[in-house]
A and B are shown apart, each in its own frame.
Chain A
Amino acid sequence: MNILDFGNAFFSDSAHWHGYDGIPQRFWEHVQYSLLALAVAAAIGLPVGLLTGHTGRGGNALALIANAARALPSFGLLVLAVLSIGFGLLPVMIPLVVLAVPPILVTTYEAVRSVDPSPVDAARGMGMHESRILLQVELPVALPLILSGLRSAAIQIVSTATIAAYVSLGGLGRYIVDGLYQRDYEKVVGGATLVAVLALITLAVFWAAGRFAVSPGVRRR
């Protein structure tokens, strides 16, 4: 049997489509973990990235912290978190957020830094307040890059959220972990396929958000 057959068998088995271990339920759980982790990471990364980008201060410290965070293995972090705070959602969120903050933070910082300084100068010269300059002059122009940072963070979260299954939570990782344990390769392939599908959906969502939120004047078409 090849991988396609495994996948086919998994998805055509109607037993996999309902119940607490059914595809809709696991898919939804995975989406929830991912959204929560992304929201927390964005709540940290966006404001810090915007502010440091606007003032131009703290860029070096930022790069240092981001690189350090990137070097941390997610799985090791999960184990550590479980050992220190026990099972639950929180120990899963920690590695996911640590994974997602650096790309958001660094690209947001870079995005704001790379905004053409002359409109900013003009805005300041016409008496615009700094907060308005950041939100109404720099942010709209930096948005495509900021969205790309959020997008790569989201993709990484979606693929890494499978680790939730190791600490007996749900999500699509369940199929992979359980499938490996039970030597049920149909399940493993099915779970992996679903993760890939969710990643593609994430890409599509960010593409749509870009179309919707970025001004045609910045997109240049």
Chain B
Amino acid sequence: MIRIDSVTKRYPDGTVAVDRLSLEIPDRSITVLVGPSGCGKTTTLRMINRMVEPTEGTILLDGEDIQGQPVTTLRRSMGYVIQNAGLFQHRTIVDNIATVPRMLGWGKQRARERAAELMERVGLDTALAKRYPYQLSGGQQQRVGVARALAADPPVLLMDEPFSAVDPVVRKGLQDELLRLQDELGKTIVFVTHDIDEAIKLGTMVAVLREGGRLAQYAPPAELLSAPADGFVEDFLGADRGIRRLSFFASAELDLTTDAVVPADATAERIAAVKAPHLLVTDPDGRPLGWAERTGLTAGDIATDRLLPFGRPFVPGTDSLRVALDCAVLSPTGWAVAVDGGGRVTGVVSQQTIGEAIRAAHTESRADKAGAGVAE
């Protein structure tokens, strides 16, 4: 565990970048430092690997003061990833990744094998191994940066706005990749960003800093969204935090109905039995084709070319309530289509039912918190 204990950083010009900050960074999880520009995120991160020395306070790594060991030893136990990747232009990709192992005295062959293994890990084609950094896209360079930081398998990974210089689509890919990687590797990651959505998506814990390097709130993302500590955090979270909070509620328990789901060759009795104004028509495999109005349907042969589009389906259990609600809002009938992993319809659900589920989830989480409060 990394423990930041009442740390202050005052630069020689008098700027107080970090002010009596205390944080406990749990092992094997992603802790995000987020806040507006100039609030001391980079300074905090760089104090952990002693690129910046604190003016006051101490930082403990597994209970020991980080001042206690040589600075190079400390840094070699922490991977470091920066905004523009900071690759060595004169070295090939594989040699960039092999840098730390080589520094630790590994043989060339072994270091290269390790580098190739890491390229696969971070989703890079090993055919790129012999290229130079200028021959890679920004997103690929960033992956190399992550691979290089992981090369000697350090327990800690420090990342300073690693994904902020790439376009939103690539950024989403990199974020998903990081989460997948973290599932496999279980590193202690400290991640700096100024993007609150990124913080909420990636963080197990999120520390919101405000100008002057003071801690505004330190909480799991769901708690941040449901109970911002003050107006500053609330403003920083943005207007639609209620909707975003739904990302943390599962859609598994939604009350689905199969009543209105009919195959294209349904009988007249089957169609007559539907009470809802719309029917979801499926193909023989049970995959959705589209919505039909109940009135004026011909039994035995529903005209599948005149159906309303069914929009985007969601997968109960995998997707959150936010996704389910989004599907219902986008659906021309106001009903969301639920499918299983194979794309076969498992039922449909109305906006109203989703709304009830949201209210229930809110009540439940309030009750949880109250219960936890009593237990403490």
Contacts and interface: CB of A to CB of B under 8 A. Distances in A.
B51 interface: yes
A218 to B, nearest CB: 5
Chain B contact-residue range equals: 20 to 34
A120 to B, nearest CB: 8
Nearest to A118: B86
B49 A119 contact: no
A55 to B, nearest CB: 16
B7 to A, nearest CB: 19
Interface stretch (B12-20, B74-82, B182-190, B321-329): B74-82
A120 B85 CA distance: 11
Contact of B90 (A118, A122, A124, A215): A215
Given A116-B89, A125-B51, 9 more contacts: A119-B88, A120-B86, A122-B85, A123-B99, A125-B82, A127-B74, A137-B88, A216-B132, A217-B134
Contacts of A217: 89-92, 132-134
Contacts of B86: 116, 118-123
Interface of A: 116, 118-129, 132, 137, 140-141, 215-218, 220
A115 to B, nearest CB: 10
B99 A126 contact: yes
B100 interface: yes
Contact of A124 (B51, B73, B83): B51
Q: Which 9 A-B pairs have the closest CB atoms?
A: A217-B132, A127-B75, A122-B86, A125-B80, A215-B90, A118-B86, A140-B90, A127-B76, A127-B72
A81 to B, nearest CB: 41
Contacts of B89: 116, 119, 141, 215, 217-218
Nearest to B83: A118
Interface of chain B: mostly helix, strand, loop or mixed: mixed
B254 interface: no
B204 interface: no
A192 to B, nearest CB: 40
B227 interface: no
B264 interface: no
29 contacts: A116-B89, A118-B83, A118-B86, A119-B87, A119-B89, A121-B82, A122-B85, A122-B86, A122-B87, A122-B145, A122-B148, A123-B86, A123-B88, A124-B75, A125-B51, A125-B75, A125-B78, A126-B76, A126-B79, A126-B80, A127-B72, A128-B99, A128-B103, A137-B88, A141-B88, A216-B132, A217-B133, A218-B90, A220-B134
A165 B279 CA distance: 104
| Interface hub of A116, A124, A125, A216 (most chain B Cβ within 10 A) | A125
B349 interface: no
B192 interface: no
A128 B92 CA distance: 18
A126 B90 contact: no
B149 interface: yes
Interface string B62-79: 000000000111111011
